[in-house]
């Protein structure tokens, strides 16, 4: 029993940083497309958007998302950390046909 408790404690210590801070997820903008267009991440994940086009774009949450990037010029980055589970849709306010989805589990 003592040994089991010890193991659980070790496991918790190992897992804590993972729970507190999931790996970053990158979404690039290439040829007017958010890529990958739909990603599923763990709660607490930081999503980093990178504009790789020669034209500015923005990343703007729709409804529940409520996040808004400044204009991103070529190679500019913008990040959002998603702490709560849910489905977050977003679009580019310059080129509104560009949309994407982040699913947080």
Partner 1 sequence: MSDETKGLTRRRALECGLWAGAGVLWTVSGGVPRSALLGTAEAAEMGADLTFVQISDSHIGFNKPANPDATATFKSLLDRIAAMNPRPAFMLHTGDVSHLSRASEWDTARSLIEATGIETHFIPGEHDMLVDNGEPFFASFAPQGAKPGGWYSFDQKGVHFVALVNVAQLKPGGEGSLGAAQLAWIENDLKGRSASQPIVVTIHMPLWQVYPQWGWGTEDGAQALTLLKRFGSVTVLNGHIHQLLQKVEGNVAFHTGMSTAFPQPTPGTAPSPGPMKVEPGRLRELLGVSTVSHVAGKKRLAIIDRPLGA
Footprint on this chain of partner 1 (rule: CB under 8 A): 31-33, 53-56, 58, 62, 70-71, 73-74, 89, 91, 93-97, 99
Decide if 39 contacts 22 (C-beta within 8 A).
no
- Shorter beta-carbon distance to partner 1: residue 1 or 97: 97
- Shorter beta-carbon distance to partner 1: residue 24 or 30: 30
**69 is written with which tokens?**
């990037």
> How far is Cα 62 from Cα 50, in angstroms, rounded to an integer?
19
DSSP 8-state assignment for residue 68: B
Measured from the CB of residue 96, what is the shortest distance to partner 1 in angstroms? 4
> How far is Cα 105 from Cα 1, in angstroms, rounded to an integer?
33
Measured from the CB of residue 73, what is the shortest distance to partner 1 in angstroms? 6
């Amino acid at each position: 029993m003592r040994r089991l408790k010890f193991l659980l404690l070790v496991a918790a210590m190992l897992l804590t940083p993972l729970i507190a801070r999931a790996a970053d997820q990158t979404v690039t903008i290439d040829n007017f497309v958010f890529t990958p267009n739909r990603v599923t991440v763990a709660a607490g994940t930081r999503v980093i958007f990178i504009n790789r086009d020669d034209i500015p774009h923005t990343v703007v949450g729709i409804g529940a998302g409520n996040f808004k990037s400044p204009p991103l010029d070529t190679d500019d980055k913008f990040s959002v950390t998603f702490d709560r589970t849910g489905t977050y849709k977003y679009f580019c306010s310059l080129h509104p046909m560009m949309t994407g989805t982040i699913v947080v589990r």
